[in-house]
A and B are shown apart, each in its own frame.
Chain A
Amino acid sequence: MARLEVEGICKGWDFPVIDDLSFSVEEGEFFVIVGPSGIGKTTLLRLISGLETPDQGVVRVGGRDMTALPPYRRRIAMTFESYALYPHMTVYENIASPLRARKAATSEIDERVRSVANLLRIEQLLQRKPGEVSGGQKQRTALGRTLVADPEVFLLDEPISHLDAKIRHELRTQFHALEDLRRVATVYVTHDYAEALSLGDRIGVMGAGGQLEQVGAPRDLFERPDNIAVARHMGQPTINVIAARLKRRDGGMRVDAAEGTLSFRIDDSHAPLFERYTKDDVTVGLRPQFLRPVKDGQTAADTIEAEVDIFEPLGASGIMLAKSGGVRLTALTDPEAHYDAGDRVTLAVSTDRFHFFDAVTGRNLAGSA
């Protein structure tokens, strides 16, 4: 059993980067750490791999304490964001490197390299140098080098972020298909929430404090974010966040935007949330897909009037940036819809889809799921 455990790990240079961070990844689990750039995700992987020594805390693989072992004594494979291929060696030799390090027999090396290359569909490139293959092929080579090693833990650092969108999608689907990744504990780092939702068995959202803000299944993170930072990070376009004031009335509640005249009715299903919340100030989150333009001839229960600022037709959907009652909002539209700046629209609000956060701490009033 090779379960990866990271316990109370700390690392800082002039300022703390990772602060008392803990998590564990089961064998066969695909754990994705998502977070904005520069937050310490790569540092975390370097700590697990042994390229950096933690100031505090323990890294265990299969129950054994690895913290003091140098990287070449750990059975941990890692891909680098820059690929870090050996420029003077062929693709074949790059992939064979971990096997040569442990002095495998030539026939075994050949067999393993070819099977990995076949899996990643780079077998026709084996005799080329890294400088002679494309970005996606470089990434596959780097991946091949980690797959061939048969490690206990896989660390993947932004493996597909620098590729163009089409290859990114292709490689993303390929990750799903890689059986080898399903037999070890994998930690996959990305800043792209869609990658995280697509690939992760579980996802950890890393925040500015050098800790994991929330760990959970993809749906949980998306539908029940613990705090505003998680809600903001998961989802594209970004969730609408409005500072607002609660109006409690008999038979229902409303929120009024703190600035401007925007006002929403709140669905009764939300009411239990506010039984313990005594303050009036609240931060409201509403994802753009729950704010949709009402087409001519249709009606909706709750609507607001808005004026279009910018409209981006993206093919599969459209993103509308609009202003209503002095508040900027993002709405999602149908694929065939078209709007011009200045158009007046009516937006239907799904009043049962609000998220409510503490105005000061940013914590979700629904509590952690």
Chain B
Amino acid sequence: MAVTTANSEAQLQQTSTVADRWRAVRYLFLAFMALWLLFTLFPLYFMVITAFKSAAETNLTVPTFWPNEWFPQNFAGVFAEATNFNALVDSFIIATANTALALFLGSLAGYAFARFPKQAGGENLAFWILSNRMFPPVAILVPMFFLFDNTPWGTDSHLSLIILYLVFNLPLATWLMMVFFRDAPREIEEAAYLDGWTPMKAFVRVTLPLVLPGMISVAMLCWIFAWNEYLFANLFVGTDVRTYTIVIPTFTHGSQTLWNLQMAFSLIAMIPPVTMFILLRRYMVRGLSLGVVKG
């Protein structure tokens, strides 16, 4: 009896040290998360306050972390030139059209890879498509410029960027949609065939709704990439078409960078993606956990 008590006390002590250790790990984790939050949120904070500062205040040697004077007129300032608003429209057109195209083609390709891997070219082709995302974009910057320069519509057009961004978004859409389609139970589709639906109708009626949350996540990722793209836009467009990303660096006065206007415009450019994200957040979370909640 005495032996058992001693044993269980030792055991108890052991469990408490384990618990202590876990508590320490948890505090460390929380401290790390706090640092991480600071790291990610501070630039955002600085952007927001800079957007409300005067041009003079942005150039102080010792930066202020709260505006001495509030300058909401910065927001009117960025639209002093009417074409600046058009830049947001251009970006929107390019991002949305590109996303729609990437989703349409990516879903069909992803479905083929998921359901008919042999006929669709197998793992190798699927991986090759994904590998297109792996090279540094700069490597194809100049070749792409000459390629699109020889098209009837030229480089300085919506269509060029809409097609060009497929280079990056189509592999992403194809690969992710393939994973989502693989997770969608095949038997549900087969049940639809037996109900008398043709494969195309079964795809639209049954399979697509199953992967819809995933599809929305993919759409968000594609859209944000195209919305924020700078490198290619900077080289391709500028006269007929201007995306907002290439407009931001133009807010200068002589040799002076107008940080306040740049940040104000950036803040405005953040509104569409953030709104979308908030509206679709529910689907995104479901999309990312699609495999877990099926059935």
Name A residues whose Cβ lies closer than 8 Å to a Cβ of B: 49-51, 70-72, 76-78, 80, 82, 84-88, 97-98, 101-102, 131, 145, 149
Contact = CB atoms under 8 A, between A and B. Distances in A.
B193 interface: yes
B190 A145 contact: no
Interface string B198-216: 1101100010011000000
Contact of A87 (B193, B196, B210): B210
Most A CB within 10 A of own CB, among B197, B198, B294: B197
- In order of increasing CB-CB distance, the 9 nearest A-B pairs are A101-B196, A84-B187, A84-B191, A98-B195, A71-B193, A88-B209, A97-B195, A72-B193, A101-B197
How many B residues are at the interface, by size bracket?
A: 20 to 34
A84 B210 CA distance: 13
Contact of B190 (A71, A76, A98): A71
Contacts of B122: none
Nearest to B197: A101
B295 interface: yes
Contacts of B194: 49, 51, 71-72, 76-78
A72 B197 CA distance: 6
Contact of B188 (A70, A78, A86): A86
B192 interface: yes
8 contacts: A49-B194, A51-B190, A51-B194, A72-B197, A80-B191, A85-B188, A88-B209, A145-B195
A85 B199 CA distance: 17
B185 interface: yes
Nearest to B188: A84
A101 B206 CA distance: 12
B193 A82 contact: no
Given A71-B193, A72-B197, A97-B195, 12 more contacts: A49-B194, A50-B193, A51-B193, A72-B194, A72-B199, A78-B191, A84-B188, A86-B206, A86-B209, A97-B197, A101-B201, A149-B195
Contacts of B190: 51, 71, 80, 84
Contacts of B195: 72, 97-98, 101, 145, 149
A97 B210 contact: no
Given A72-B194, A77-B194, A97-B192, A82 B185 contact: yes
A164 to B, nearest CB: 18
A78 B209 CA distance: 22
A131 B295 CA distance: 7
B290 to A, nearest CB: 12
A82 B187 contact: yes
Nearest to B208: A88
Interface string B253-295: 0000000000000000000000000000000000000000011
B203 to A, nearest CB: 12
A82 B191 CA distance: 11
A149 B196 contact: yes
Nearest to B186: A84
A331 B193 CA distance: 49
A50 B206 CA distance: 19
A70 B193 contact: yes
Contacts of B185: 82, 84
A213 B106 CA distance: 49
A81 to B, nearest CB: 9
A49 B190 CA distance: 10
A334 to B, nearest CB: 45
B198 A87 contact: no
A78 B191 CA distance: 8
Interface string B102-126: 0000000000000000000000000
Contacts of A149: 195-196
B187 A80 contact: yes
Contacts of A71: 190, 193-194
A294 B238 CA distance: 102
Nearest to A71: B193
A307 B266 CA distance: 88
A70 B196 CA distance: 10
Contacts of A85: 188, 191
Nearest to B189: A84
Interface string B159-196: 00000000000000000000000000101101111111
A87 B295 contact: yes
A88 B210 contact: yes
A145 B206 CA distance: 15
A310 to B, nearest CB: 33
Nearest to B187: A84
A98 B198 CA distance: 12
Interface in B133-165: none
A93 to B, nearest CB: 10
A70 B193 CA distance: 8
A306 to B, nearest CB: 42
B247 to A, nearest CB: 42
A98 B206 contact: no
A71 B191 CA distance: 10
A102 to B, nearest CB: 6
Nearest to A81: B187
B197 to A, nearest CB: 5
B249 to A, nearest CB: 46
Contacts of B206: 86
B41 to A, nearest CB: 37
A171 B4 CA distance: 53
A84 B192 CA distance: 9
Contacts of A50: 193
Most B CB within 10 A of own CB, among A70, A71, A76, A149: A71
